[in-house]
Structure 1
């Protein structure tokens, strides 16, 4: 009886040791919300997202002498669109399909450059996000948000290390978006 259980368990553990780590990175930044503006009664904005990165990879890492491409666990267009919707709702705007101002949030760059040696790794992450506001009167404004983050550690960079770096740079970018009032001011001036 014991042999019947022992051999399958040993085989299971051996196979589990050969499993490759996942090639997705859990992208879940902290979302900072701005202060509400009570003067925005009834102003509707429409929001959509776009991912204009040349490569969908968040990082490329060498593991066991092979290059592994790591991608986001969810579509960055929809993630950042959701972030912008939450921030605009927190400010007091309503979100709808035909708003007084159309907002488009664009991912221009989000990448974690990973360099590894035998003893240390370095992760240098950069984010470049743009918001384009287009009013119905034809006025247009583009605001860019850029952030970078770098971290070092011992031995090899794990997916979790890379995810932490990506989430940190995105969290910083989202906080900048919440603190910046230029898009908010543009909407107030052009939504009449």
Structure 2
């Protein structure tokens, strides 16, 4: 396996469509991430062993920057032609992807933290492998429905996603 390096992202197109998020690479290709993303308060620890992609959009959600975390498969020149960035973390590394958005390693998982007061846009985390796809949006306050159907505030910090979390009915796109 060859050594992979960090690659700075470029601004790429974003489109919120029914059922997911479309990212338009600089080379004209589109990639579809299934969704809608589940709202999670300010940080997420992804399931272990997943490929993790972090998307930070502008306030309008029309464009953004995408960074792959610990991607060992994609060559630097391919990333550069698509506009996607990459950050490589080792051990207990931590890296700022974007002002207010930090990634770190936690065992075999990736932790993404967002200080949303510093982010002028939205933060999405996609974690996937051959078996499953997970999509999350880091939000300041997520609501979820409790067992009796009442809306309840989410926990202040979540280490692992609550698969029962539901959106509050507002449009996410």
Tell me the TM-score normalised to structure 2 length: 0.23
Query: Which structure has the bigger radius of gyration?
Result: 1
Higher relative contact order (CA 8 A, sep 6+): 2
Q: When you count helix as a share of all residues, which structure comes out higher? A: 1
Q: When you count strand as a share of all residues, which structure comes out higher? A: 2
Tell me the TM-score normalised to structure 1 length: 0.22
